[in-house]
Chain A
Amino acid sequence: MRNLIKRLHLDPAAAWSPYRPSAEQPWNLRRAGHLYRRVAFGGNWNELQQAVQAGPEATLQRLLQGAAPTAELDAQCAGMAKSMIATGDVEQMKALWLFRMLNTPHPAQEKLTLFWHNHFATSNAKVNNVGYMLGQNELFRRHALGNFGTLLQEISKDPAMLVWLDTVQSKRGMPNENYARELMELFSLGIGNYTEADIRQAARAFTGWEIRGEKFFFNRSQHDPGKKTVLGQTGNWGGEDIVRICLEQSACPRFIVRKLFRFYVSETLEPTDELIAPVAEAFRRSNYEIRVPLEMMLRSQLFYSPEVYRTQVKSPTDFAIGIVRGLEGRVGTLSLADALDNLGQKLFYPPSVKGWDGGTAWLNSTTLLHRQNLALALTSTQDARFGRRTDPAALVRKHGKKSDEEVVGFFVDLFLQGDLSDEARQGLLNYLRQARQGPYPVYWSEQDREDHRLRAVCHLVLTLPEFQLN
């Protein structure tokens, strides 16, 4: 991945100025698809058409508010959560989140929840508690589009996190440094913006932080109340003070904005400090309201420029959810969760506290093969796990596409927004034409043959290299 990264030297004012549709930079299916892929998990046919009609600002607002309230879905998920907490079933836990991603009217919220899950990467492999993991997931969702300062304070006391980074074991006189280190290195400041001494002092402030009755509990007798000097500030600091001190560092908004940039704008372009500065400053001045840097980036010239178009690799979640939402289907999410494991993203089980590296790390010979085979499973209607509920043939009929050109055009527009060479497009048309000739099993009806051709060509579109790029 490192060989693909280019340093971006741009005039910040120009880069962050708002995008306005023009003849040279029209608002079209490509840009609408780009926005939907980045902010959500990709759009279905109607959503994309609507977005083209409505324009970039209205579409962005619609995505950030959500298309409808989530109250009903919340209640449904809370009910399901209750039962799996009782049984401790981890497979159900993954399936529940995928269910949300597929059915929510507010996919932007789920996408940002996934971002925080990766940022504060906590794995159930060690936490081993479905209730804690779901609780942490809810915490991310609650603050996804809210305030980062509040999120940072609350995650420090989150039971899953307390277990994950050994804070519960940190005692007066023998502090455990794990949380203090990751808080600074990975969650708020980044390497180079603190010293080992800061970590050792900060670790003392988190002593006595325990869990009782499934919730955070402050055990005063195990807490080291003495004077500590952290990042130049001296006092009888407790954990909340350390979090506050981290938030006061100028490195903090820059660090978070860089991560948001990588997730929403580009994985191959590394912004200079100069470019990041205005966004980081706006973030800081707003007292860490997450929507501020997000909107600034998502409505900018830079966001809609060719420099950042398709400069990310889809995560397994983007890949799979994008296909199912695009096909307007319903699938059993237990099987889907299992499939995502093979693609290299086991929800609730990030490989380490650094999260998933993302970018080209998602693709190697094994994971790419699994992606292609998953695309087949979702489109062929032959896979017992997914059945007939994501049927490209039904989708084509629903949207009234008939001729070969219309069918290929439809799938290419839906899934690739037209990003395809003429040569490849011709290859797809050739396949459709020649598939008419068969041979076919004798017991297949005319309908069977037709459906087979449609499903096969949909699968072929999903195996194209462009589809891997976000």
Chain B
Amino acid sequence: MFTRRDFLKTSSMVTLGLGSSALLPRFLSRTADAAPLSGKPGAKDTILVVVQLTGGNDGLNTVIPFKDPLYARYRPTLKQPVDQIKKLNDEVGLHPALGGLASLYEDNALCVVQGVGYPNPSQSHFRSMDIWHAGSTAETLREGWLGKALGRLNNAPAYHLGAENEAAPFAFAGAPIKVPSLTSLEEFQLRTAAASSPDSKAQRAVIEGVVRGGSSPKQESSLIDFVQRTANNTYASSRRLAEIGKNYEPKVPYPASGLANRLKLAAQLIDADLGARIYYVSIDGFDTHAGQEPTHTTLLTEVSEALAAFYKDLAARGQGERLMVMTFSEFGRRARENGSKGTDHGSGAPMFLVGGRVKAGVVGQHPSLEKLEDGNLKHHTDFRQVYAAILDGWLGVPSREILGQAFAPVGILRSQA
């Protein structure tokens, strides 16, 4: 297995190769400073893994107020059978498909925050998702909350583990170094058609040389700058990641799903101690306007099984206390189902936090099913309160600067009251 020692050895070799450490992509040269203290209690280099549920997850059918008679009334065809709901307490329980998350709840590794949203909720996928990514409801949004956080994390690396056809999340916009998007370690090789090894070296020197020095006569367009930076990062990451072993053996079996594969990749990168603090994955398909079941069950199963395997794998490696996984969606869905056995866009919904140091349990009441706002569940916790708790309490960066104002943090960490 590729150890930290090997990595430090390699990085100094790379420094020589490039000729000047000033030009070395920051994530390589800073990693030694951010070297993890894993194994020591209270290690500072905590990790955040964000899991985005794209499309607007139906929160009402995810964390279910099974005692409330209005639930069955609003959801004639979509209501879940009470005896199969995984009870969290006397009031709410998890959708039957969330067995993996239920087991994490039993292990005290799951925190459920109910009723999360923001004022004047937008029901446009794109505007609402932008709001969650920016951590702001301003009209013009230019930076992401994670991009700004990275700026205060000593330029620690971060990774977006994307599916095919997936753009880098806006949440990373504004990061000091562009966050690379990876789909797999294997694909990450720059190829050349070379007649010999010296030929290959010569070709690579041209390809990589132009983006280090700058090849364009006039730097009028900052777009060329962007391309060069992206290219530089690409080639450097490619070389680094080619070395991370294919020798990874998970401590628990991962299910065979897209999300699980991406989380397994995250687990490998975390275990390889690259010093990355933030990882981002998404799973799409939650925009269930028609025929919500069995689609929603399938999706929740994928999320539940993947998260459970991911956490248990890393916990077994002693990384459980460093890890926090946060799930969110751009909005919940309407309280009443529509005529197509589906649900339309809503607002308030729950968030899940998974990790060795989360405050296990259910935070906040379920939004009232009686006092709806325009047909939607009214939120009582601003999502930026969850962000504030994570930024200040978990990552150790000032939430007030990043979010533009102070938000009272939600108690999601064990050490908090």
Contacts and interface: CB of A to CB of B under 8 A. Distances in A.
A373 B190 contact: yes
Interface in B24-65: none
Contacts of A191: 124, 127
Contacts, number: 200
Interface string A366-397: 11111011001001101000000000000000
Interface residues of B, number: 68
A226 interface: no
A4 B202 contact: no
B196 interface: yes
A294 interface: no
B237 interface: yes
B166 interface: yes
Interface residues of A, number: 80
A440 B200 CA distance: 12
A431 B339 contact: no
Contacts of B168: 361, 364
A198 interface: no
A363 B230 contact: yes
B247 interface: no
Interface in A1-27: 1-4
B162 A465 contact: no
B267 interface: no
B209 A196 contact: no
A3 B227 contact: no
Contacts of A104: none
A420 interface: yes
Nearest to A4: B222
Nearest to A1: B173
Interface in B317-370: 338-340, 344
B410 to A, nearest CB: 29
B187 A380 contact: no
Contacts of B198: 439
A360 B182 contact: no
Nearest to A418: B217
Contacts of A185: 124
A420 B217 contact: yes
A310 B224 contact: yes
Interface in A280-297: none
Contacts of A456: 192-194, 199, 203
Given A166-B289, A423-B215, A382 B193 contact: yes
Interface of B: 123-127, 141-143, 160, 162, 164-168, 173-174, 178, 180-183, 187-196, 198-199, 202-203, 206-207, 209-211, 213-217, 220-224, 226-228, 230-231, 233-234, 237-238, 284, 289-290, 338-340, 344, 374
23 contacts: A173-B339, A267-B223, A268-B222, A310-B223, A311-B223, A342-B164, A346-B165, A354-B125, A357-B167, A361-B167, A363-B226, A364-B160, A364-B180, A364-B181, A365-B230, A365-B238, A424-B210, A427-B209, A428-B206, A431-B203, A438-B199, A439-B198, A456-B194
Given A173-B339, A363-B230, 18 more contacts: A2-B142, A3-B143, A191-B124, A310-B224, A341-B165, A351-B284, A364-B230, A365-B180, A365-B238, A368-B230, A368-B234, A369-B190, A431-B206, A438-B195, A439-B195, A439-B198, A456-B203, A469-B223
